[in-house]
Amino acid sequence: MVRKLAVGSLVTALLSLLPAWVWAGGGAATELVVVADTRALSGFNFYLATLYNQDMWIFATWAVVITSALGVSLGLLMDLIMSHVGLDLGKSAGHVEH
């Protein structure tokens, strides 16, 4: 575990050394603006992309809300399926996953 920590610290140290190397080959700093091409889209994709072009704050809120809702509902659904199949996940409940 301590080695893992040392490794992590080393990565962070390397990260802090990066700027010189990075800037050496860099071009002029310009913000990249992305416009999603909604012209050939329809349905949910069209809605998402339009929102993306129009209002980033609502888009970001939506992104977080939909992602978490989908994560939770898929987890619940899988739990349900697994209990139907007969595999008891409770046995390995102490297990971490992320």
Rounded distance, CA 53 to CA 59, Å?
A: 9
Q: Which residue has the tokens 């139907």?
A: 84
Question: Least distance from C-beta 62 to other proteins, angstroms?
Answer: 6
How many residues touch other proteins under the rule CB under 8 A: the total is: 79
Subset of residues 56 to 75 that bind other proteins, contact rule: CB under 8 A: 56-75
3-class DSSP assignment, residue 49: helix
Question: Least distance from C-beta 13 to other proteins, angstroms?
Answer: 10
Q: Is 88 left (phi over 0), alpha (psi -120 to 50) or beta?
A: beta
Residue 12 CA: distances (Å) to CA of 1, 22, 26, 35, 41: 17, 15, 22, 34, 42
| Contact between 80 and other proteins per CB under 8 A | no
Give me the 2-41 binding string for other proteins, x by CB under 8 A, dash otherwise.
xxxx-xxxxxx-xx--x--xxx-xxxxxxxxxxxxxxxxx
Question: Least distance from C-beta 17 to other proteins, angstroms?
Answer: 11
Question: Least distance from C-beta 49 to other proteins, angstroms?
Answer: 4
